[in-house]
Amino acid sequence: MSLRTSWKAISLVLAAATLTFAVGCANQGSGEKVYQVGISQIVEHPSLDATREGFIAGLKDAGLVEGENLKIDYSNAGGDKSSNATIAQNFKADKKDLVLGIATDSAIALADAIKDAPVIFTAVTDPVGAGLLENPEKPGGNVTGVSDTHPDEIAKLMDFIAANFPDVKTVGTVINQGEQNAVVSIERAQAALDAHGVKIETAGVANSSEVKQAAESLVGRVDAIYVPKDNTVVSAFEAVVGVANDNKLPLFVGDIDSVKRGAFATFGYEYYDIGYTTGKMAADILLNGKNPGDVPVGFPEQLDLYYSEPAAAAQGVEVTQAIRDLISDEAVQVIKEVAQP
């Protein structure tokens, strides 16, 4: 073989290799769409964090995987409404394929700002009262999601208190009146307690630093404490637990994670599961082209009593046989240890 022939052969090999590389790059560049999803969360605490984790798992099980065909932009508002608005505007400017609002204020900010992409909410107590939609069965527009309130849960907890704690004549609560979800919860609680002749005393807060003092202000005026799904209060929940323990006041709450952190009891469900359901809903919208306005709002289906043995001991609660009879799975529903903050 001549030198000229050898160089010609080498050139052909190099040309073929170059073409193969170019085709590979082209195929990579025109691969599967990467969906851009924005998550806005009002504040970080165990229930909302579990909701977010469940949402991501729901997306994954439906075929949307971070690092492959999914990119998630997560922002925490730190309990500040102006931060919610800023996050929403940033997501709008980024033209996200879908945005998720975790908790009421975050969802409202997204729905107000974004009209041309799906807005999904989760861990929202009252989506209708919050103005997110008018009809949960047929939301219309670009907003739908999953509520974190079973229709019967608050009334069931209040009935439980009245039936098993006959000495409780006044229930105290610490709430942020600026959180629509908390206000609605207390209205529902009072409506249920009215039937039993039990009153509610409220102590208001504007931020988490005021929670301890507000809880202390209830001492001597109430026979038990109820903390609803109020993100401001739950983010500083250990302060309420301390007051309840020091003064032997049974502490009831609106979510299971707060029982794990030191409350005595609630009727509820795992927030991870709510997030998971929301993730599957979001994936259906993204992958199958579902119109959010045609997707009915989801609600928790399971509602079980959860109580804490350490909290019962600390708060002077006798766990009667009537209470134990409400437990179907002790390994799950009876909390044996208080989670460390």
The overall average pLDDT reported for the chain is 91
- Percent of the chain topping pLDDT 90: 86
Model confidence band, residue 211 (pLDDT cutoffs 50, 70, 90): very high
**Is residue 1 pLDDT above 50, yes or no?**
no
Q: Name which of 172-176, 282-286, 336-340 the model is least confident about.
A: 336-340
Amino acid letter, 134: E
Model confidence band, residue 81 (pLDDT cutoffs 50, 70, 90): confident
Amino acid letter, 68: E
Long-range contacts at 97-101 (CB < 8 A, ≥ 24 apart)? 97/35, 97/36, 97/37, 97/286, 98/35, 98/37, 98/38, 98/282, 98/285, 98/286, 99/37, 99/38, 99/39, 99/40, 100/37, 100/38, 100/39, 100/40, 100/55, 100/278, 100/282, 101/40, 101/145
pLDDT digits (tens, 9 = 90+) for 239-249: 999 999 999 99
pLDDT digits (tens, 9 = 90+) for 58-72: 999 999 999 999 999
User: Do 203 and 217 contact (CB within 8 A), yes or no?
Assistant: yes
SS3 38: strand
Tokens representing residue 222 in the block: 């109430």
Q: Name which of 105-109, 161-165, 167-171, 177-181 the model is least confident about.
A: 177-181
Q: What is the pLDDT of residue 149?
A: 86
User: Do 236 and 175 contact (CB within 8 A), yes or no?
Assistant: no
Residues 288 and 62: their CA atoms lie apart, in Å, by 11
**Is residue 27 pLDDT above 70, yes or no?**
no
pLDDT digits (tens, 9 = 90+) for 130-159: 999 999 999 999 999 999 988 899 999 999
Q: What is the pLDDT of residue 340?
A: 73
* Radius of gyration (C-alpha) of the chain in whole angstroms: 26
Using CA atoms, how far residue 217 sits from 64, 170, 210, 220, in Å, is: 48, 14, 11, 8
Higher pLDDT: 301 or 310? It is: 310
Bridge-based pairing state of the strands 98-102 and 35-41: parallel
Helix (H) or strand (E) holding 26: helix 3-29
* pTM (two decimals): 0.76
Tokens representing residue 130 in the block: 């919050």
Q: What is the pLDDT of residue 63?
A: 97
Mean pLDDT of 192-211: 97
Residues 222 and 248: their CA atoms lie apart, in Å, by 11
Task: Give the chain's length.
Answer: 341
User: Do 81 and 59 contact (CB within 8 A), yes or no?
Assistant: no
Q: What is the pLDDT of residue 341?
A: 65
Q: Name which of 6-10, 183-187, 263-267, 324-328 the model is least confident about.
A: 6-10
**Is residue 331 pLDDT above 60, yes or no?**
yes
Q: Name which of 14-28, 194-208, 228-242 the model is least confident about.
A: 14-28
CA-based nearest residue to 275, from 75, 46, 66? 46
User: Do 249 and 243 contact (CB within 8 A), yes or no?
Assistant: yes
Q: What is the pLDDT of residue 10?
A: 37
